[in-house]
Amino acid sequence: MARLKVGIIFGGCSEEHPVSVKSAQEVARNLDSEKYEPFYIGITKSGSWLLCDGPDPNWENGSCRTVVLSPDRGVHGLLVLEQGRYGTIRLDVVFPVLHGTLGEDGAIQGLLELSGIPYVGCDVQSSAVCMDKSLAYIVARSAGIATPTYWTVTADENIDPDRLTYPVFVKPARSGSSFGVSKVSRKEDLLGAVETARQYDSKVLIEAPVVGSEIGCAILGNDLDLVAGEVDRIALSHGFFRIHQEDEPEIGSENSTPIVPADIPAETRSLVQETAKAVYRALGCRGLARVDLFLREDGEVVLNEVNTLPGMTSYSRYPRMMAAAGLPLAEVIDRMVALALTGKS
């Protein structure tokens, strides 16, 4: 049987470029070479597309070739520049191992829709909605799901610090991980925090804090046929959870420890999983997503955010939650590719 030709796109122009490279390394380690023929497409921080041997730490310095993903459905794959002429590589499916801006916001998904190539993960619409936390909250609320109290601040808009009750969290509305996020305890610090968030997005979100535990749930599947991974809980020693901000994330965080499975009652675990599935369906997700939530002391589950292309690194939450549910990453990859190709798990 011929192997499936899989384009694995990684890197990208966002602040999450290094995390994407590490995610692609883990995907490469768990990709079944008897089933798949991988083509590794690395996007540099400046936006150049290169066909390379693999996502090793120095991939840009290897034997790379200039490549682009053709929007022409007749090509159904890559245009490769060799000796001044273009060759083609047909792809069966693409796995965009990208995080953050231009990876999770519908941009790469739009290009893949034009190309006609099946791809892993959420479509253009759900990617864009989930990336914008304020839009995700609006959709979730309409589905009866609790969200934090929040305010949006658009580009060049002024906000009166006296109108808020502190503390509040200030974050970019459309950015990944914890980049640009600040906890503001005094009104004097609000405007500075807004400017910090604006370094990552012109639209800023100000949220009232939710008192409770930070929990998450990995979801895999399409439509009504969904698999939920084990629920995790982020145990904090101090401060707030700042994912992908650590100097050496492989050896752990200085203020947080993920507990998988979460140390919560079985009934609460089921409620978290069902809420995560409800969020996933309401936002139109497909393929996979990690739904981050808050669990209040009174048992209410509140949406935090949805990551449509969550980290796949050795220390990432999504593969840990799936592994705890009995699904190793190699099997998760098989299921994601099957979902992309057939729409079935």
99 assigned to active site = yes
Q: E strands along the chain, which residues?
A: 4-11, 36-43, 49-52, 65-69, 77-82, 85-90, 93-97, 150-153, 168-172, 182-184, 204-207, 212-222, 225-236, 256-259, 287-296, 301-307
- The catalytic residue among 36, 119, 200, 315 is 315
First and final CA of the chain: distance in angstroms? 21
192 assigned to active site = no
Report the alpha-carbon distance of residue 133 to residue 150 in Å, rounded: 10
- The catalytic residue among 19, 120, 302, 332 is 19
17 assigned to active site = no
Residue 106: helix, strand or coil by DSSP?
coil
104 assigned to active site = no
Report the alpha-carbon distance of residue 42 to residue 57 in Å, rounded: 11
- The catalytic residue among 5, 244, 320, 335 is 244
Whether omega for the bond prior to residue 118 falls within 30 degrees of 0, making it cis, is: no
- The catalytic residue among 7, 11, 42, 311 is 311
- The catalytic residue among 99, 171, 174, 335 is 99
76 assigned to active site = no
250 assigned to active site = yes
- The catalytic residue among 250, 267, 297, 326 is 250
Closest CA to 24 of 38, 34, 5, 13: 38
- Maximum CA extent, the chain: 67
- The catalytic residue among 17, 22, 171, 269 is 22
Distance of CA 236 to the CA centre of its chain: 22
Closest CA to 333 of 9, 12, 17, 29: 29
- The catalytic residue among 133, 171, 203, 290 is 290
Amino acid at 197: A
Q: How many helices (H) does the chain have, and how many strands (E)? A: 8, 16
Residues labelled as active-site residues? 19, 22, 99, 244, 250, 290, 311, 315
